[in-house]
Amino acid sequence: MIGQGLSALALGSGHEVIGYSRRSAGQMPVATKSLISSASHVLPETKLDALVHLAGESLLGLWTTAKRDRIWRSRVDLTRQMVAQLKSWAPSNRPQVLLCASGIGYYGDRGDEVLEENSSRGKGFLADLCGEWESAAREVTNLGIRVVHLRTGVVLGDHGGAFPLMKTAFNFGAGGCFGNGRQWMSWIHEQDQAALILWAIENQSIVGPMNLCSAEAVTNAEFTRRLAAKLHRPAFMHVPAFALRLLTRGLADEMLLGSQRAFPRIATDMGYHFAHPKLDDALTALL
């Protein structure tokens, strides 16, 4: 979803776009399509100005030992392989900037604390994953490549991610909050997600971590209330924390019950203007 939105925006801004995929080039609206073999993960050497790395096993699903291993290998190990391949490229072909996906899971479960890019790393599987993922990407700085870590919140979009699932549940009257609903949700509209990535490509002063989220974080209970109101549906369902933990084998504590009140300090201080800064506006646009 993010790759498609970014590709369309970049093409519309006059850039040439090459799409790579772990499995299939799919329906990305790109001028050139290349395929990375799922077996060898070979990144074909190409003259690039910027490389945006978004690949990774979906976090959704039961967090079994095998699932965690796939999540880790598809992010940390794949990034290490990619960095090794970039080292073998001719210096004139190497990108000037690598923008590598990460997440606000880096901060761990932090309650009501406001989390900016200089906030410390938290604890838990996602915090460890994001920390090692960012460390693997930073290795390209030895090649003189600028690195930006895209610490993404919950991306609200029509064609993928969590939002279509949320909308379906609410439409069937099964909407509601998770646990006590007091955990913070840091969200971003898919339009701003793509625009911020392109903005970071074009703005050479952006280096290191960047929170990709709106300045208006909301609690899970508030998000539930506002989405239900937009859909004119009740939201009486309440999923107890113990049930979520029982059903998801670890995913719930970090993704559904964990609290990250992230703030986009880098984007705000450097003058990025959000197309959808408020949740009500973002939901209206999506619905």
* Residue-by-residue pLDDT tens, the chain, 287 positions: 898 899 999 999 999 888 887 665 554 445 455 545 444 556 788 899 999 999 888 888 888 899 999 999 999 999 999 999 999 999 999 999 999 999 999 999 999 999 999 999 999 999 999 999 999 999 999 999 999 999 999 999 988 888 888 888 888 887 888 889 999 999 999 999 999 999 999 999 999 999 999 999 999 999 999 999 999 988 877 778 878 777 777 777 888 889 999 999 999 999 999 999 999 999 999 99
Residue 88: its pLDDT value, please?
Answer: 93
Domain that holds residue 153: 2-286
The confidence score (pLDDT) of residue 22 equals 67
Query: How far is the first Cα of the chain from the last one, in angstroms, to the nearest whole number?
Result: 17
Cα–Cα distances in Å, from 94 out to 82, 90, 146? 12, 7, 11
The DSSP line for 26-50 is TT---SEE----TTT--------SE
Q: What residue type is 159 in one-letter code?
A: H
CB half-sphere exposure, 50, CA atoms < 13 A: 20
Q: Residue 224: which CATH number?
A: 3.40.50.720
What pTM was estimated for this model as a whole? Answer: 0.91
On whether the CB atoms of residues 183 and 115 are closer than 8 A, the answer is: no
Question: In total, how many domains does the chain have?
Answer: 1
Is 106:134 a contact under the CB 8 Å cutoff?
A: yes
Q: Which amino acid is at 63?
A: W
